[in-house]
Structure 1
């Protein structure tokens, strides 16, 4: 990607960035290798009870089953209201901050076009982008699976694809800047998944949750990742999954990734050129202290007495090029080389 193309991507991103959410949203379906995601409906809510999705909630999310169930009903209601173009107040559950939520039902099926089977029988859980804050470009992600579907890799297939959509620039995605999660300290399985996805530990809320099973308080760990940190390819590859290019936001995410890599290359090139320029200045400065018939000979003479120190600079602090590799370090000191060369011989 050329410098002009990089600038074009930057200008295009800035031009489309908005601090408000649309009044209605067509929630896209998302394909996975193990699961399919479709917009959750109110009719899907009883299925979560049948799946025992709220079993052991205090260990998974840090909330009791009754509270978790009420939250899921709220999130799905808000998601459906947004699809219908209703305001948060009209959703039936309200939202004082006018934030939005997207809820997808997770279907354990790799063929969403199979019309012979009611897809409600394939639902194994839900995944959410919660409290989408258009001003801060932030959202929280959470997965809830039925009791018998946990630990099988379904969330590892679904989460990266939802995050790719969330981070993709508008209108292909939500244009988020940050996605975060909050996890009870005892939920080590989820902590491992989030770290594998590239989430970074941001902090700990001490004794923020009650562990009912062990009758004690537990910490809540907050993890987050930013749009310029998230790699849609690596996040899937770490779990042996593959990118599905016709998923929403994937093409834009790949373009942004290419843009980021191009910026890194340009930055690396600039730093290399700066090091080379500094190196040339150092050589010329040293050459001015060394005898010789011309500036070129002086520079060449100074370079023969230098050695790269690993930081991109050729410091004359070794016997680089000397035949006697066993000479004492003091005899190879850069200032001795300068003195010897200025005198035209050895001490």
Structure 2
């Protein structure tokens, strides 16, 4: 934003020239509503406000005492009348040193709720209260809004009918409106009904003035809640719809409000479409990630199952083949030489530790623990004996424990080969018989 020129005109970010000085005179417009219509307030209306008991329980509504409330309402009406006449502060006697003006409307009803043939506020010429735009600040383009109703006309929905229409005028660009950027309210914290109405209109809590008001009934201080609404956040058409009110196109600022409302709807539809597309894309990405996660989990489960199946198959194979260690030992014995000490140790182990137990091999039987000079058997398994040498009978206990031995050969498993040493020279010595 650029600086101000000599006329107090500032360059707005959107490129519009906005007048920061308030006009010296204003034409206060008439504003029509469904339940009430608004006309510029007059000095005579101040007497009607007393008749309406409009300042009753002001401490609970605005936080001010009755006399203070009456005083400020009188000042607001006089400022409004003076501005509508183009009077200077010195001429009106109620000027503001900060040149902050006020616009006041009298709220008129034509309703006949009791069906007696006369308006409800016939005694006050239909006046049931007032509505104000207070301290209109042209430089900051802000103002405070307030409604003051007679005692018997509170809580009937008149504020909901009047406030959106006054705010539409306040936000409208000049000369149709005041060109405001911000409208705000100040409410005692205990006035929850007004807070609810303002929130329904689109006001947001912007701050809290701690212990700013005195609660006479409670005998203690209370906070003042500050709420506001900005021009680019507020949609008067939507506010009227929220309260079930109809748009009256002849009111000031409504044409501009309708254009802005249509633009907001169009941009909202575009934004909604963009959000829907983003959500759909996000959902698709989540589905892809989920599918990849499931595929990975299945692959891991399949690999784990295959590894478990292989281990289980190997264990089952080992369980189905008894004496696997013995078979491995046999293969080791077959591949080793006759004088190998390792083969002799394996054979001794297979024979249960008996050095005289025999090991059956295909086509040949020999001692499980041969020694130097020991007798060697023939291919038929019968030992060569000297004639006349007695053969000791084999004992039943001398049978080998090897699972694959020939039981028909057990009887020669423990012959006294050491008795035959040196008899007949039948030992194989260097291949000679």
TM-score, structure 2 as length reference = 0.59
Q: How does 1:1-347 map to 2 (within 5 A)?
A: 14-15=15-16, 17-109=18-110, 121-264=125-268, 308-310=281-283, 316-319=288-291, 327=294, 330-331=297-298
The corresponding residue for 1:344 is none
Q: CA deviation at 1:121?
A: 1.1
Larger Rg over CA atoms: 2
CA apart distance, 1:109: 2.1
**Residues matched between the structures, number:** 281
Contact 2:26/2:83 (<8 A) preserved: yes
- SS of alignment partner, residue 94 of structure 1: coil
Q: Which has the higher contact order (CA 8 A, sep 6+)?
A: 1
Mapped to 2, the partners of 1:222 and 1:31 lie a distance apart of 28
User: What is the CA–CA distance in structure 2 between the aligned matches of 1:332 and 1:235, rounded to whole Å?
Assistant: 58
State the SS of the aligned residue for 1:318. Answer: helix
Would you say the 8 A contact 1:141–1:179 is kept in 2? yes
Mind listing any 5+ residue stretches in structure 1 that lack a counterpart?
Answer: 1-10, 112-116, 276-306, 321-325, 334-347
3-state SS of paired residue (1:42)? coil
Assess, with a 3 A threshold, how the Cα gap between structure 1 residues 332 and 71 changes in structure 2: closer, same or farther. Answer: farther
Q: 1:153 to 1:134 in 2, by over 3 A?
A: same
Equivalent-residue separation in structure 2 for 1:132 and 1:180 (angstroms):
11
Q: Is the 8 A contact 2:103 2:132 kept in 1?
A: yes
Report deviation, 1:14. 4.6
CA RMSD of aligned residues (A): 3.1
Q: Is 1:319–1:332's contact at 8 Å kept on the other side of the alignment?
A: no
Q: Cα offset for 1:267?
A: 6.5
Q: For 1:332 and 1:264, locate their aligned partners in 2 and report how far apart those are by CA, in whole Å.
A: 46
For residue 332 of structure 1, report the CA deviation from its aligned partner. 9.0
Normalised by the size of structure 1, how large is the TM-score? 0.73
CA distance change for structure 1 residues 330 and 132 in 2, over 3 Å: closer, same or farther?
farther
SS in 1 for 2:81: helix
Structure 1 pair 196–271 and aligned structure 2 pair: CA distance change class (3 A):
closer
Query: Which stretches of structure 1, 4 residues or longer, exceed 2 Å deviation after superposition?
Result: 13-17, 87-91, 117-120, 256-273, 307-310, 312-316, 326-333
Q: Distance in 2 between matches of 1:103 and 1:209?
A: 24
Secondary structure at the aligned position of 2:195 is classed as helix
Instruction: Give 1:249 deviation, angstroms.
Output: 0.7
Which residue in the other structure is 2:334 paired with? none
Contiguous gaps of at least 5 residues in structure 2: 1-11, 113-120, 301-433
